A and B are shown apart, each in its own frame.
Chain A
Amino acid sequence: MTRELAAAVLRRLGQAVLTALVASTLVWALLPLAPGDPVLRLMEARHILEPNDLQIANLRAELALDQPLPLQYANWLARAVRGDLSISYRTGRPVLEEISERLPATMMLLGTALAASILLSLVLALVAVAWRDRWPDRLILLYTQIGAAIPTFVFALLVLQYVIVGAGIGRVLPQGSLALVLLPALTVAVDRAAGWTQLLRASLIEAGNANHALVARARGASRWHVIWHHALPNGILPFLTAIGVSIGALIGGAPIIEEIFTWPGLGRYVLQALSARDYPVIQGFVLLSGLSYVAASLAVDLVAMMLYPRLRKSS
């Protein structure tokens, strides 16, 4: 057990290193294609309305933007391996500090959303399978079709308009607290669970049609017994894989959700960085998202290995 575990961890660690390299090279490799002068954009972002030439020249020098790109990259890399992600062009503060201030809010939002999606899709899929082809199943199928066809951001706009503003529930300036995370997180979860429910329902049905399940049913086992002891243990693996992959989408979807709900997290910060041409922050975001994605995939791997001892050998 431990050896297989170690192998899985090692493999993901290798992936993490690769991810970090790709993420860091990517932004720098694209920079020569970037149009415009970030310094002027930054002056605007810092609300310096009419900068004089000295201010512009000194900011350029301060950010080392007057150096050749390969040198900038080398300096960045040298700092990055020591855990220093440089400073934000826009705010002049260390990127790592800026990111870690906003990360908890994003983690809270995404974590709650993930937990709620898993719970929701598990419950709905089990109900659908238990009452297969009866009205609960049809209702749930309708929900999955509709949910899959509404992009999360559109659903979020509807929730904002008709629940938060319309019914006056919630707060406009959320401070990232646990109680206030519920609405945005549930919004994401209700939308995301649609696809997962569909998937889990299908694989539960398939697993329920396997021979041992049919035998159990023929021996008079109850509907729930078959679902619980035969369908669920065998049908949950594709669901786990789907969750692992969707975590990347969850991270990538954070900016738009945080923007709509004005959630004080990393996603909105990245959008601000995007419009201010704050390359070190974009760099940091890509790096961090890549690493979180790897970490989440590792977590899913480990859960899958615990549930399915046979997987330990094949990997």
Chain B
Amino acid sequence: MNKSILTALLVAALSTTAPLAEDAAKALRIVTSFDIESMNPAEDGFWMQEFGVAELLMKFQPDGTNQPWLLQSLVAQDDLTWIATVRNDVAFQNGRSLDADAVLAAIERQIAHSDGARGSVPEGTRFEKTGDFEITISTTAPWPELPGVLSNEGVFLIYDTAAVEAVGEDWRQLVGAGIYTGPYQVTALTPDRLVTERFDHYWRGEPALPGVTVNFVSDPNARILAVQNDEADIALYPPIAARPVVEATPGLHFNYGTPSTGGFLGFMNIKAAPFDDVQVRQALLKAIDYDEIANVVFGGVLEQATGLYNKSFPWALENYETDLEEAAALLDAAGWGLDGDVRRKDGEALSLNLVIYPQQPDLVPMSGAIQAQLRKLGIEVKITSVDDVYAALLGNEVDWDLGLSSEGTVSWGVASPFLNRYLATGGGRNFAGYANEEVQALIGELKVAVDTARRDAILQRIQTILVEEDPYVFALNIHQGRVVVNDAYAGYQPGFALYHVSYETGPSPAQ
């Protein structure tokens, strides 16, 4: 092949796109993994929230609380009544101002059109206008999770319903219609990219950038190479494996931090030996070296687990402790004595079947590390990769002892959905049929407990039971956001809870 002809052709192809790139020189260029399919606010609007186009009434904070955002305040008047006061200085991008009517219309439209919204609102809940900027929310049972629900990007996005209804089902017409309140408004949505421009009258201040372009590139390698090739500034969702190469490449930075609301969790099969024995479960929790996993195996890109929850959350206990001696003592007490390098009971070796799945490649080094750590104690670990981890853990086809899975333990500040699904009797993902009476009662109480101190106490008691009395699920790490950025955005920190773009986001050289 003639390299010079090839190069000439490629240069020609590149130069035709050059003017475009120059026009948007100052706009932020993000590459993400997921496609945004449509402008339909009920189906795909949550994306708009992540990229600074749409906003919510409340905002979930890194300390685990929910603070008013488009609201001035949210106050619980009594156990069954909330008063939400809407800010009076907010306008939609199309100029219409935000008031109680507009918010109510958006809430009603979401309940009518979005399963995410409808499924989150308890039956009998009423939203009523009690002032130009005041909405009263009354319920038939206490609804302590309301602040979290109002922060959830999949529930009540606030948009101009009149403008949405006007286009019928032809969502493409919503491009340029300015139906949201965020700092950037959509000017184009193609199968390849979302293009937004600055909304000059944004209520919190002037957005820092002329616009944001979000390219959809499902291949993680291509996203990083796009930043390297100056086709993007920020690559979202980079694999941890990419870090050494990124850090060895001039002009590229691998930024991570901002611990999030979940992690890789381990589920023990308490239905079968050896985990039917509480002492063996307690021993496992003490045998795992959480520090090594987070800081050596993953080089600090994952946050060390000190308990089930992100330690900056007010209710989080830091009750994980690695102690090989005590783990060995517990195993001895459980009858699994050391026989050479292997622990045995009644002649049978102590062996675990560890289940991972290919959609999470980070589980490969994770499982390797667990295998190595447990071998020190005389526990043999076999690793099985299954295509559908939930089917494997719920069904009978895979003989599993320890299942690993990436899970969120807190949905926008709300802890009970996870507990209900994974720990409560009859929960859809209670893989091993965990049934602890006290935990069950606490989960029930959490659903209706309004008092914050009481809620924290309930969650702390559950965490204690899960370590000391009846272990079942535990965190191997806490996830953190991570991005690959170029020099211009070297100071960009990954957004908390998928808030990738705010009005303040702008070029930020290394600090």
A and B part of one assembly: yes
A262 within 8 A of B: yes
Q: Could you tell me the distance in whole angstroms from the C-beta of A31 to the nearest C-beta in chain B? A: 14
**A12-58 interface (Cβ within 8 A of B):** 35-37, 40-41, 44, 47-55, 58
Chain B residues numbered 1-32 whose CB sits less than 8 Å from any CB in chain A: 1, 3, 6-7, 9-10, 12-14, 31
Q: Does B408 contact A (CB under 8 A)?
A: yes
Which residues of chain B are near A186, meaning CB under 8 Å?
Answer: 1
A2 to chain B, nearest CB (A): 42
Asked if A49 and B118 sit within 8 Å, CB to CB, the answer is: no
Inside 8 A of A190's CB, which chain B residues have their CB? 1
Task: Please state if A54 and B118 are interface contacts (CB–CB under 8 Å).
Answer: yes
- Closest B-chain residue to A187, C-beta based? B1
| Interface presence of B37 (CB below 8 A) | yes
Residues of B contacting A272 with CB < 8 Å? 218
Segment from B64-72, B219-227, B302-310, B488-496 that makes contact with A: B219-227
Q: Are B10 and A169 in contact (CB under 8 A)?
A: yes
Q: Is the CB of A58 within 8 A of B115?
A: yes
Q: Which of A173, A177, A268, A272 has the most CB of B within 10 A?
A: A173
Contact A52 B119 (CB under 8 A): yes
In the assembled complex, the CB of A277 is this many whole angstroms from the nearest CB of chain B, namely: 8
Q: Which residues of B from 103 to 121 have beta carbons under 8 Å from A?
A: 115-116, 118-120
For the complex, what is the distance from the CA of A115 to the CA of B7, rounded to whole Å? 20
Contact of A183 (CB < 8 Å), options: B6, B12, B417: B6
- Is B408 a contact of A172 with CB atoms below 8 Å? no
Which of B280-288, B384-392, B430-438 lies at the interface?
A: B384-392
- Asked whether A173 and B226 contact (CB < 8 A) given A40-B390, A259-B219, A272-B218, the answer is yes
Interface centre among A50, A51, A53, A170 (most CB of B within 10 A): A50
Q: Please determine whether A173 and B222 come into contact, CB atoms closer than 8 angstroms.
A: yes
Bound CA–CA A262/B220 (angstroms):
10
Instruction: Collect the chain B residues with CB atoms within 8 Å of residue A91's CB.
Output: 35, 37
A262-B217 CB under 8 A given contacts A35-B391, A36-B390, A37-B390: yes
Contacts A171-B229, A172-B228, A173-B222 hold; do A55 and B7 have CB atoms under 8 A apart?
A: no
Instruction: Verify A37–B6 contact, CB threshold 8 A.
Output: no
Distance to closest chain B CB from A60 (angstroms): 11
Question: In the complex, which residue of chain B has the Cβ closest to the Cβ of A116?
Answer: B1
| Residues of chain B with a CB closer than 8 A to A64's CB | none
A173 to B228, CA, bound (A): 11
| Residue in A37, A101, A173, A180 whose beta carbon sits within 8 Å of that of B388 in the complex | A37
Known contacts being A35-B387, A52-B116, A52-B119, is A172 close to B12, with CB within 8 Å? no
Interface centre among A165, A262, A272 (most CB of B within 10 A): A262
Note all chain A residues with C-beta closer than 8 A to B340: none
Q: Smallest CB-CB separation from B5: which chain A residue? A: A182
Contact of A262 among B116, B219, B428 (CB under 8 A): B219
B231 at the interface (CB under 8 A from A): yes
Cα separation A224 to B10 with both chains bound (whole Å): 37
Check if A179 sits within 8 Å of B13, measured CB to CB.
yes
Q: Tell me how many residues of B have a C-beta within 8 Å of chain A.
A: 44
A264 surroundings in chain B (CB, below 8 A): 192
Contacts of B390 in A (CB 8 A): 36-37, 40
B12 in contact with A179 (CB, 8 Å) = yes
B residues in contact with A41, CB < 8 Å: 388
- In the bound complex, how far is the Cα of B13 from the Cα of A88, in angstroms? 33
When C-beta atoms are compared, the residue in chain B nearest to A50 turns out to be B411
How close is A174's CB to chain B, nearest CB, in angstroms?
9
* Given A36-B387, A101-B191: A55 in contact with B222 (beta carbons within 8 A): no
Contact B34 A47 (CB under 8 A): yes
> Residues 263-291 of chain A: 1 if any B CB is under 8 Å from the residue's CB, otherwise 0?
01000100010010000000000000000
CA distance A272 to B35 in the complex (A): 12
Interfacial chain B residues near A44, Cβ < 8 Å: 359
* Contact across chains for A172 and B388 when beta carbons are under 8 A apart: no
Partner among B13, B34, B47 whose Cβ is within 8 Å of the Cβ of A180: B13
The chain B residue with its CB closest to the CB of A170 is B10
Contact yes or no, B115 A55, CB < 8 A: yes
Q: Does A93 contact B (CB under 8 A)?
A: yes
Q: How far is the CA of A172 from the CA of B235 in the complex (A)?
A: 13
CA distance A55 to B119 in the complex (A): 7
Interface presence of B52 (CB below 8 A):
no
Given contacts A35-B387, A91-B35, A262-B217, contact A169 B7 (CB under 8 A): yes
Instruction: Report the bound CA distance from A59 to B387 in whole Å.
Output: 21
Instruction: Tell me if B215 counts as interface (CB < 8 A to partner A).
Output: yes
With known contacts A41-B388, A171-B10, A54–B417 Cβ distance under 8 A: no
Q: Does A151 contact B (CB under 8 A)?
A: no
Within 8 A of A (CB), among B214-262: 215, 217-219, 221-222, 225-226, 228-229, 231
B14 and A171 form a contact (CB under 8 A): yes
Alpha-carbon gap, A171 to B35, bound state (A): 21
Closest to B227 in A: A172
Complex partner residue of B226 from A93, A172, A268, CB under 8 angstroms = A172
Residues of A with C-beta under 8 A to B13: 171, 177, 179-180
Contact A169:B6 (CB < 8 A) given known A50-B411, A101-B191, A180-B13 = yes
List 7 interface pairs A-B (beta carbons < 8 Å), by A numbering. A36-B388, A55-B119, A92-B43, A171-B10, A171-B14, A173-B31, A180-B10
Q: Which chain A residues have a beta carbon within 8 Å of chain B's beta carbons?
A: 35-37, 40-41, 44, 47-55, 58-59, 91-93, 101, 165, 169-173, 175, 177, 179-180, 182-183, 186, 190, 259, 262, 264, 268, 272, 275
Q: Which 7 A-B pairs have the closest CB atoms?
A: A36-B388, A54-B119, A52-B119, A179-B13, A172-B225, A36-B391, A262-B222
Sample of 10 more A-B contacts, CB < 8 Å, known A52-B417, A186-B1, A262-B222: A44-B359, A48-B116, A49-B411, A50-B411, A53-B119, A54-B115, A101-B191, A169-B6, A173-B229, A190-B1
